[in-house]
Amino acid sequence: MKFLRHYVVGLVCLVMGFLLVWQPLPTQAQGSAPAQGKPALYEFGAGYCVSCKKMAKIMAEVTLQYGDQVEVRLVYADKEKDLFQQYKIMLIPTQVFLDASGKEVDRHIGALPKEEVIKKLKALKFIR
């Protein structure tokens, strides 16, 4: 029993270490480029995820404020599995930042406060 517990803990640590170290290569959006030549922020999540629900509210606020400058899109695991695979999403919530041509320029794994989302969008020159 003790061996099994150590084995499981070791396996979990190994998987978490892999996920933290592994950085997916930037992907080029295929058929999902931002609308009208605008940069985009894709929020990958799921309806059952508490952090994802909080991020959905934040994304709605960002859309109200900056929707004319940046496309904000919620992508849910149960509805758009192909985009999850295309962008190699391993953990949720994950935010993927795309330039106007649809090229990934940055990504963040985990929840972000609204202020941090806006700060990141300004740093990437997506908004003024």
Per-residue model confidence as pLDDT tens digits over 16-51: 554 444 444 333 344 454 556 899 999 999 989 999
Per residue in 93-116, pLDDT (tens digit) is: 999 999 999 999 999 999 999 999
Among the residue ranges 1-5, 50-54, 58-62, 91-95, the one predicted with the least confidence is: 1-5
Q: In sequence order, what are the residues at sequence separation of 6 or more whose Cβ sits closer than 8 angstroms to the Cβ of residue 66?
A: 72, 118, 121, 126, 127
**CATH says 27-123 is which class?**
alpha beta
Model pLDDT, residue 14: 52
Which residue ranges make up each domain of the chain?
Answer: 27-123
Q: Which of 124, 65, 54, 119 shows the shortest CA–CA distance to 93?
A: 54
